[in-house]
Structure 1
């Protein structure tokens, strides 16, 4: 499986009501997160084992590069992480614009991936 498969799946399920939108947001984040880990491991030579369960390490590493595309990817990844937490854990909070929320998450993940492709 490739990290991009998460983003593809997110785009396919986003239209299935609130659960689809929330699930798409989560999948979009994980697609971008795993893609970022792959780039960091390739470019910076960081061992995947160092990541452990830390979701902050890719953002930290990308911010340290000083590269404009990496900085944009770090921003997008951080935003996606916040959106994923809201989608996965704050299910009692109303989300009046469900479809747009999920679609925007998918778009952000794709943009993050584009930024990272330039870095790698």
Structure 2
């Protein structure tokens, strides 16, 4: 039986392309605009919050099912999206959803509790 070697370059290209997903958002961008751009680019909200109380449940009821969590006080919130099996977490800060600004994002799937 003859064994063939899989070119390492092919593996590199496949793994690199998963991490090199282009997202249409920028740091400081209003969250509402970033969300719209993501959805228009094929990203889908990835619901992760299953609680009944807190700011997160209010955001779910207002139509933001992708909320994962928010801090108290100055709100730092995490939102999750998925596209073609790739997860995207977006961090936004602000007191109200209309005033929130994107401060970070990462290609990371939310953890399960």
Same fold, judged at TM 0.5 (above): no
TM-score for both structures, normalised by structure 1? 0.27
Higher relative contact order (CA 8 A, sep 6+): 1
Higher share of residues assigned strand: 2
TM-score for both structures, normalised by structure 2? 0.28
Higher share of residues assigned helix: 1
Pick the structure with greater CA Rg: 2
